[in-house]
Structures are given as structure tokens and as C-alpha cells.
Amino acid sequence: MKILYEDKNAEQLIKDELPLDTQIDVLYEIMRNVIDEGSIKAKTIKFKLQKHIKSEDVYRRLYALNKIISNGKGIDMIPNEKNIQEVLDSTNVWLTDEIAKRYVQNKIEAEVEKNLMEKQDKYIDEVRLGIIKKQKGPENAKTLKKYDDLKALDSRKLTKNIQAMLRPESFSEIVGQERAIKSLLSKMASPYPQHIILYGPPGVGKTTAARLALEEAKKLSYTIYDKEAKFVEVDGTTLRWDPREITNPLLGSVHDPIYQGSKRDLAEGGIPEPKPGLVTEAHGGVLFIDEIGELDSILQNKLLKVLEDKRVEFSSSYYDPEDENTPKYIKYLFDKGAPADFVLIGATTKEPSEINPALRSRCTEVYFEPLAATDIENIVVNAASKLEVEIEDGVAKTIGRYTIEGRKAINILADAYGYVLHNSELVDESKVRIDMKDLLEVISISRLFPYEELDKDVKAEVGHIYGLGVSGYIGSTIEIETSVFEAKEKGKGHVRFNDTAGSMAKDSVFNAASVIRKTTNKDINDYDIHVNIVGGGKIDGPSAGAAITVCIISSLLDKPLRQDIAVTGEISLRGIIKPVGGIFEKIYGARRKGIKLVILPSDNEKEVPTGLKDIETKTASNIEELMKLVFSLT
């Protein structure tokens, strides 16, 4: 109800002309329109105004009216003739405030009701559309066209992966790794399997062997693997994660409802959703990480924690364990974590010293061997058989001279296959024959370089010998040559050595000088000695010391050395041949070169692999024994 006053004169006129009881009756009427009857009765009882409100005395009635309209905040005493006008004005003010509040309240309620009606209509429309979509499905003309385009693209296959087609399907097809396979199986096919790191050069079958080992282990009754055990494979070089844990495909992450957005039904309730990672997918099976040495160091430490706990823990500031709307599986993941009990197999081409020590301490180690030339030949022959390709005699052996990787050998064969097929314009693929001239043309086009081999008819030479070195898991020969001349002025000779070989090799030369003086009774200061490492290779260790020493002695004494021998070992100032590392790899490098005899330190004798057929090994403990071996063989 609205009371409008045109101006103050009209208001004063009403006050002057209307009797007091009439004014109070009008105010009571306005109050009943503003305040509901229930509130009036409640306030009447609260302030004990029953007698006053029904009284004939206008002063008592005005007192009751003021108390009710002000909610007890008005006057405390019944008014009299002196202050009646003041109390009346005060009551008008209280009533005006109440009218203003009611007006605003009614306006807000009207707006709310209007919005509710609009939202109700919108909600009804959404429900109606939802029902229609459910009946028609989520598809429309555009989405169906995109789906058809994707199916059409997927039906077209441009390439066939020859590596996948020729991948070994059994251990018998993995060439040259019999010892590594036995070791791998003994560690996996056990009631108590161990985490494993596979070391070895690229392209020798580490990944394939691990995959086949799991399949073999599942067949055995005493192993822990069931038929559903998975082989989950991931590349450590491409495995990335966010330090803020926004995403972590390896261990898993939590999708919060605000920053990343979980599923719609969860996001609306503000519920975070954990996303288990690959470690949970591999639960009960094998997690294979290729190039594990390239895995981020922090992520490696997190992985170690999972290996210890066999679970992945999740946490989020948005998670409320008391929220009844949280699904059970989310509560389970937050309260107990995700299971992650698996066997870790990591493969790497790095040296063991380059791998995280904490990771190495939790894993046993298996070493895959570099492939010999005969192994490469067998791989090529087997691949040609699977491709149903005829190859000329000598093709497989020639490919073996140009690579030490099984994968690369297959690629060379595939290149030759495509070259012959294109240039011969054959209609029938089954009639492809790869001749030597075709292979040599492909090798020339690809600009491949062969691994050097010794000539069979090479003669003994003075001041020339082969040392042995290791790079990665591949051994190789180091060609050493020396020239010795009498100094122009006695006692003022010089020793020259190529600086690119490194400081360790230079130290070996100086050690050799002291040993030579003691052994031959010749003062090297009377000679100009030039030592050269052919090819400019850098020598990081002291293992070429023994070879350098006998090479200088050969030039000093003018004694020839047989050229199909190689020497490895550190030389001490006392002439003792000290043990060195990488014996297996060095013997491999000697075999590829065509070396027939390897002389190594006596302390390394136990490291010589068994079953060597095409190469001989002998040992020496000091320079005297070494000289007897190298000079008695010529």
C-alpha cells in the first residue's frame, strides 16, 4: 500500500483536520496491509500489548502501534498530551521504513519469480532436447560425414612396416643372443621375478626378447603371471610429465574439476577424478621402458617409490572424503591408491655407470651382445626367407660387412628388394632375386661404409700393431704405428705423439718410454720417436699402453710384428700388464676386424667368453711375457 503526500502543506492539513483517534485508526489499517496478521499477533504477545491494542484510550493504542511497528525499538512509555505529536511522527517514520522494506522485498520476489519461470522454461527445453537427442543419438549430418571420412582414411594403408613383419616370433629367431635370453628367462620365469635392466647396443633384439620372455613365462605353472598379464611398452625418450602433476602418463594424475575439468557429472559436483597411469595398466604383468636411461631423473625417483609401495597414491585439495556424491571408485583411489605391482624391464644403450644408482640397486642386469658378422648373415638369410626373396651367394655376407645392427641389416635388404622390384619392372613379387650388383648399387646410393677387415695375405710389419678399445657396447681395433730414428744429436731425441688421441694415451707413451729403457737397455733420448694413432681417434683409457710399448720396441729393435694380432692392457712403470675393462666387447671388435689372436692381461683371463671358434686368446702378466708372444709369432 502506498501513501503519497503532494507536499508538506497537505500533510500538515491532514494532521490539523483529522482527529487523533482517526489518524491512529488509519495507521493501524496501513500496518495491517504491510505486516501480516500472524506477525502482528506474535509481536502483541511478545511485548504484552493485548490490553493496550484493544483499549479505548488512544494513547495506549498509539503505544501498542509504535511497539509493533518498531519491533520493540520505539517508545518505552505510554505517550501523553505533551509528546503525543512527537510519538505520532515517530510512528509514521517507523511505518514508512517498513513500507519501503516491503516494497523492495516484493520487487525482489517478483524478479526471483520471473527468473525462476524463465529458468524453468529453459530447463524444460533442455530436458526436451535431451530426450530428443537420446532418441536420435548424438549424431548429425556433419558428425556422420566426419566419421565416414575417418573410416575411409583408416581403410587406406600406404606402407607396410617391414620391421614389424619380420619381427622374431620365437627365441629361435633372435640371433646371437642365446646367453642373454637364458639369463633373461631365468630372472623372469620364476616364482620370485626380479626387475631387470637390459644393456646392449641398438638393434640386437632387447625389446623383442623381453616381450617373448613374458609370453614364455605365462606358460609355466610356477610363475606369478596369469593369462591376462600385459606387456606395456613405453619409450623413455618421449615420456614427459608436468611437475605440477597436471599430467603424468606413467604414474597417473588427478583431473581437478576447475583447472583441467573432469567428467561433466563430476565437474558439476566439484569432484576431482584420478586417472591411473601405465604403471597401473601394467599391474600383474610387465612394464617395459625403452631407453630408460633417458627418463627424467625426478620421474625415475617417483617410479622407484612406486616399485617400493606397489601402489600409486593420489591427492587433491578438491577431494572431500565426507562428500556423499563422490563415487566409490574415486574414494578408493584417493583413500587406498591404485595398484601397481608389476615387473619393470628397462632397456638402454648406455653404460651401467650412466644409469641412476638407486635404479640399478633395485634391478638385476642382463647384457645383450653385439652381433658378429655371421649373426648378421643369419638375420639376412632368415629375413629373405620370410620375404620369399632369392638372394645371390655372398649378398648376406656383404651386408654383414656394412652394419652391426640386425635392424639396419633388414633395412638394407628391404632397400635392395625395392630397388630390384622397381628396376626390373616385375609384375609378380614372388620372383624377386637380389644379385650382388644390385646390393652394391644400393650400398653406393646409401653411402654406406664397410667395417674394415684385414687382408688374408698381410705380412708382418715393423712398428705397426693393433690395440683394442670400446665405445658403448661395441669393441673396435685401434691402429698404432711408430717410427724411430737416431737423433741428430745424441741425448737430445724427441718423442712426438698426436694430441687428438688424448692425455691418457700420451701418458701411456711416457710409461712405455720408461719400460723400454729398462727392458732393452736403450736410452730413448738418443732417438726421435713418433707415435701415431691412425685415424685420429681419441683414447679415453690406458688400455692401449701395452700395444704402444711393443710397437715402439718393434721399431727400436727392427723386429716385425704379425698383423693379425691385437694387444690390450695397461702398462705400468714396472712393466706389469694391468687388467682393463670391456674384454668381451674388445674380443668382438677383434673378430670383426679379422684378428686371429688377442693378447690380454692375465688378470682378465676369466672374462674371456667360452666357445670362441674363430679367434684365439692368450695372456701376459708383464712386458717380458708379452714380448715373447708377439715376437715369437712372426
pLDDT at 14 over 70: no
Tell me, rounded to whole angstroms, the distance of Cα 328 from its chain centroid: 30
pLDDT band with cut points at 50, 70 and 90 for residue 495? confident
Kindly report, residue by residue over 520-573, the tens digit of the pLDDT. 888 888 888 888 888 776 777 788 889 989 999 999 989 999 888 999 999 998
pLDDT at 336 over 80: yes
pLDDT band with cut points at 50, 70 and 90 for residue 1? very low
CA distances from 432 to 53, 427, 633 (A): 118, 10, 49
Catalytic residue among 67, 187, 206, 586: 586
- Assess whether 593 carries a catalytic annotation: no
**3-state secondary structure (DSSP) of residue 364:** strand
Name the one residue in this structure whose C-alpha cell is 583431473: 255
Asked if residue 401 lies in contact with residue 591, where contact means CB atoms within 8 angstroms, the answer is: no
Q: Which fold has domain 171-367?
A: Rossmann fold (3.40.50)
Q: Determine what percent of the chain is predicted with pLDDT higher than 90.
A: 24
Catalytic residue among 70, 90, 316, 543: 543
List 577's β-bridge partners, or say none: 571
Cell of 303: 617410479
Judge: domain 461-632, CATH 3.40.50.2000.
no
Instruction: Select the CATH number that applies to the domain covering 376-446 from these four: 2.40.50.100, 3.30.1600.10, 1.10.8.60, 3.40.50.1370.
Output: 1.10.8.60
Cell of 86: 512527537
The answer for residues whose C-beta is within 8 angstroms of residue 224's C-beta and 6 or more apart is: 191, 193
Kindly report, residue by residue over 307-329, the tens digit of the pLDDT. 999 999 988 888 888 888 888 88
CA distances from 71 to 29, 46, 76, 89 (A): 17, 10, 12, 16
Torsion angle, alpha carbons of 73, 77, 80, 83, to 10? -40
- Assess whether 543 carries a catalytic annotation: yes
Tell me, rounded to whole angstroms, the distance of Cα 149 from its chain centroid: 33
Closest CA to 321 of 272, 258, 388, 390: 272
List 462's β-bridge partners, or say none: 560
Name the one residue in this structure whose C-alpha cell is 490539523: 16
Kindly report, residue by residue over 389-443, the tens digit of the pLDDT. 888 888 999 998 888 888 899 999 989 988 888 887 665 666 788 889 999 999 9
pLDDT at 613 over 90: no
* H-run or E-run covering 482: strand 474-486
pLDDT at 4 over 60: no
Kindly report, residue by residue over 241-286, the tens digit of the pLDDT. 766 666 788 888 887 766 555 566 666 667 888 889 999 999 999 9
Kindly report, residue by residue over 92-136, the tens digit of the pLDDT. 888 888 888 888 888 888 887 887 777 777 777 777 766 666 665
Torsion angle, alpha carbons of 63, 64, 69, 73, to 10? 60
pLDDT higher for 457 or 43? Answer: 43
Domain boundaries, the chain: 1-156, 171-367, 376-446, 461-632
Q: How far apart are CA 468 and CA 159, in angstroms?
A: 42
**3-state secondary structure (DSSP) of residue 455:** coil
Q: Per-residue b/e over 195-220, b at no fewer than 16 CB within 10 Å?
A: bbbbbbbbbbbbbbbbbbbbebbbee
pLDDT at 2 over 50: no
* H-run or E-run covering 434: strand 433-434
Angle made by CA atoms 137, 140, 146, in degrees to the nearest 5: 115
Asked if residue 463 lies in contact with residue 554, where contact means CB atoms within 8 angstroms, the answer is: yes
Q: How many residues does the chain have?
A: 634
